[in-house]
């Protein structure tokens, strides 16, 4: 095989093999997935149950935990901490227990607000591990003052300097365990690159459409047409995979309030109109000219609809827009990057490959028609 001519096919094959295997089989980091109860009144002997996901120390029974914890192989939970946003206060658990069968940590608290000026508010829950790291679930518990709790000293510890942040773990091959996303964080390698591939293909198509308008070479028009058609395929796959992902995380197939989805709906309609427009004309030069102008014009509008508008909007569910953080802040950790970038390149290469097949068929078709 001629490497120079077929390089992107190799890129598509190797990168996607790596991304699919790695994306499916690498484990998730441990994380807290649920806390119960979610509402507490202050008092003595309060017990809180935490469901912990993928924590190796919960797979063992308690005696085994004690033996392995001595050699420091496993991270052990040392205590459970409640941290408030407003006053930088924290309560630490008196005692913790494990329930290996249910993947649970049970923590006992004595919480007294006393005369301290503490308002009822949401607290984040952290499990402090023996190696000084934390597992956390933000704003998980609403803590309120019980009726009798108005006298004496508070047991809250003020910690102005000692902010608990889930520190960046040193490099290890596992995916981050995000609230709500959990295992489905892997879809970043499969759903998101569909849109990158669509944008890349439509972008290249616009380039060929411009080239056609400049030189009137029908080859360029066929190239642009093939790229747009396969780009639309990637877009449709992006929509369906996105809906599937949204169903389990955002609890809706199509959360209509999201500006990115509305933008995509309009943008896809514009490209459907391209297909319709193209099918109405039979003269190849007229068809090429009109559809080239159309596709050159709608590409920037499409970009504006799915990239720029959601960024300006205050309430998008997608990362990188409005109130949600972008990829760079903390959504993408180093392991995710190791798979996300190859995924983007691999999927673009694969769809380009398919567009190339479509192009060669169209070229043959053209030749037969001219005979």
Residues at the contact surface with other proteins, assessed by CB under 8 A: 20, 23-24, 33-34, 36-38, 49, 51, 181-184, 186-187, 190-191, 194, 230, 233, 236-237, 240-241, 244-245, 247-249, 350, 354, 357-358, 361, 364-365, 368
Query: Closest approach of Cβ 244 to other proteins, in Å?
Result: 5
Given the complex with other proteins, which of 299 and 347 has the nearer CB atom? Answer: 347
Given the complex with other proteins, which of 76 and 105 has the nearer CB atom? Answer: 105
Query: Closest approach of Cβ 314 to other proteins, in Å?
Result: 27
Cis before 50 (ω within 30): no
Helix (H) or strand (E) holding 198: helix 192-215
Largest CA distance in the chain: 98
> How many Cβ atoms are within 10 Å of 313's Cβ, its own excluded?
18
Query: Closest approach of Cβ 111 to other proteins, in Å?
Result: 14
Question: Do 302 and 323 form a contact (C-beta atoms < 8 A)?
Answer: no
Question: Do 169 and 162 form a contact (C-beta atoms < 8 A)?
Answer: no
Name the phi and psi angles at 54, rounded to 5. 60, 30
Structural tokens at position 135: 């597992």
Query: Closest approach of Cβ 173 to other proteins, in Å?
Result: 18
Question: Do 239 and 264 form a contact (C-beta atoms < 8 A)?
Answer: yes
- Give the ranges where 216-324 is alpha helix by DSSP (H): 218-249, 259-279, 284-303, 309-312
Rounded distance, CA 114 to CA 91, Å? 14
* CA-based torsion, 178, 184, 186, 190: positive or negative: negative
Given the complex with other proteins, which of 74 and 195 has the nearer CB atom? Answer: 195
Structural tokens at position 197: 């591939």
Query: Closest approach of Cβ 369 to other proteins, in Å?
Result: 10
Query: Closest approach of Cβ 190 to other proteins, in Å?
Result: 5
Given the complex with other proteins, which of 139 and 183 has the nearer CB atom? Answer: 183
Given the complex with other proteins, which of 69 and 182 has the nearer CB atom? Answer: 182
For 22-147, list the strands marked E by DSSP.
31-36, 39-41, 43-53, 77-84, 89-92, 95-99, 104-111, 121-129, 134-144
Given the complex with other proteins, which of 64 and 240 has the nearer CB atom? Answer: 240
Given the complex with other proteins, which of 240 and 312 has the nearer CB atom? Answer: 240
Given the complex with other proteins, which of 4 and 367 has the nearer CB atom? Answer: 367
Query: Closest approach of Cβ 11 to other proteins, in Å?
Result: 17
Query: Closest approach of Cβ 88 to other proteins, in Å?
Result: 28
Of 269, 268, 263, 265, the residue nearest 322 (C-alpha): 263
């Amino acid at each position: 095989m001629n490497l120079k001519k077929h390089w992107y096919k190799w890129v598509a094959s190797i990168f996607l093999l790596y991304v699919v295997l790695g994306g499916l089989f690498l484990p998730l980091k441990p994380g807290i997935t649920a806390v119960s109860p979610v509402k507490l009144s202050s008092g003595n002997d309060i017990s809180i149950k935490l469901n912990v996901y993928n924590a190796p120390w919960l797979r063992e029974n308690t005696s085994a935990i004690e033996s392995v914890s001595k050699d420091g192989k496993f991270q052990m939970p040392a205590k459970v901490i409640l941290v408030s946003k407003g006053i930088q206060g924290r309560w630490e658990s008196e005692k913790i227990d494990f329930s290996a069968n249910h993947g649970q940590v049970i923590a006992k608290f004595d919480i007294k607000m006393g005369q301290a000026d503490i308002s009822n508010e949401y607290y984040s829950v952290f499990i402090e591990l023996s190696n000084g790291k934390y597992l956390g679930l933000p704003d998980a518990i609403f803590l309120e003052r019980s009726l009798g709790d108005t006298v004496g000293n508070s047991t809250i510890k003020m910690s102005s300097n000692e902010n608990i942040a889930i520190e960046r773990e040193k490099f290890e091959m596992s995916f981050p365990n995000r609230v709500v996303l959990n295992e489905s964080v892997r879809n970043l390698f499969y759903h998101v690159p569909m849109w990158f591939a669509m944008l890349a293909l439509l972008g290249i198509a616009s380039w060929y459409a411009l080239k056609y308008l400049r030189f009137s070479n029908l080859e360029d028009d066929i190239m642009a047409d093939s790229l747009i058609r396969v780009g639309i395929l990637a877009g449709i796959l992006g929509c369906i995979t996105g809906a599937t992902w949204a169903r389990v995380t955002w609890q809706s197939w199509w959360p209509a309030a999201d500006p990115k989805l509305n933008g995509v709906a309009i943008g896809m309609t514009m490209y459907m109109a391209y297909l319709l427009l193209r099918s109405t004309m039979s003269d190849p030069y007229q068809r090429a000219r009109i559809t080239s102008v159309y596709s050159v014009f709608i590409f920037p509008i499409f970009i504006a609809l799915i990239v720029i508008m959601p960024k300006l909007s205050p309430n998008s569910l997608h990362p990188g827009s409005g109130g949600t953080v972008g990829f760079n802040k903390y959504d993408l950790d180093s392991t995710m990057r190791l798979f996300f970038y190859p995924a983007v390149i691999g999927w673009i290469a694969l769809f380009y490959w398919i567009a190339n097949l479509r192009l060669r068929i169209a070229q043959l078709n053209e030749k037969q028609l001219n005979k």
